[in-house]
Structure 1
Amino acid sequence: MDITIKIKDRKGQLHKVKAPTDMALNLMQVIRVYILEAAGTIGLCGGIALCHTCQCFALNDVNLPEKGEAELATLSRLPNSKTNSRLSCQILVTVGLEGLEIEIAPLF
């Protein structure tokens, strides 16, 4: 089953994308697949919550998974972190994310 996610890139352009829920993808991988940002600017740590390059802001009230310790630690070090900040590598694409809207955070 595919879900629809709206993603605003760093240039302010809104993309409405389809993402499969049966491939164990995370949001960072979806951003990469659709090439919504330049190569080498998303997920430099490979998706293990050590860098900030996949940080995004959740823009609507979709039930996201709780932040884990590694994600909280990384977000706590970021000067542009907000209460709605998430690391897209830590959010698995599931049916529950249908209608999610995110904005990719600036690199700094």
Structure 2
Amino acid sequence: MTDEVRVYVEEADGQRTEVVGPTDMGLNLMELLKASGYDIQATCGGMALCGTCHIEVLGGPTLDEPGDDEMAMLESLPVLREGSRLSCQIRIADAIDGLVLRLMPQDS
């Protein structure tokens, strides 16, 4: 068990940027991405109500299945991919170390 995890954000040009986050602060992935300078609105504050923290998981460890609230929000979004998740519902923990993701565009 470590005190930090590494996730990788695939940028528009295909490059991957490493983002390191602490496992001992109770953060979720949305908070880590925002703190790392990514433009995530997070209008609902991480309650799985707005979908503005939508990501696509491209690789890495297998995550727990989305809960009912997360799934309902994902199904209401204009674009849903096989790896679609809400980053506010993914806790920063050892289990996500090595996760590769892409931020999904926000279509208004």
Give the TM-score taking structure 1 as reference length: 0.89
Alignment map for 1:1-108 (pairs within 5 Å) = 1-9=3-11, 11-12=12-13, 14-37=16-39, 41-108=40-107
CA distance in 2, matches of 1:88, 1:20: 16
Deviation at 1:93, TM superposition (A): 0.7
Report the identity percentage: 36
SS at match of 2:47: coil
SS at match of 2:59: coil
Q: Give every structure 1 segment of 4 or more consecutive aligned residues whose post-TM-superposition deviation is greater than 6 Å.
A: none
Deviation at 1:32, TM superposition (A): 0.8
**Aligned Cα root-mean-square deviation (Å):** 1.4
CA distance in 1, matches of 2:41, 2:80: 16
CA distance in 1, matches of 2:57, 2:37: 19
Unaligned runs of 5+ in 2: none
CA distance in 2, matches of 1:80, 1:53: 12
- Number of aligned residues: 104
Deviation at 1:53, TM superposition (A): 0.6
SS at match of 1:59: strand
CA distance in 2, matches of 1:62, 1:16: 16
CA distance in 1, matches of 2:94, 2:60: 15
| One-letter amino acid of the counterpart of residue 76, structure 2 | R
SS at match of 2:21: strand
SS at match of 1:76: helix
Deviations 1:28-65 (CA, angstroms, capped at 9, x unpaired) = 0001111122xxx4311100000111000000041212
CA distance in 1, matches of 2:34, 2:16: 15
Contact 1:28 1:42 in 2 (8 A): no
Give the TM-score taking structure 2 as reference length: 0.89
CA distance in 1, matches of 2:60, 2:36: 24
Unaligned runs of 5+ in 1: none
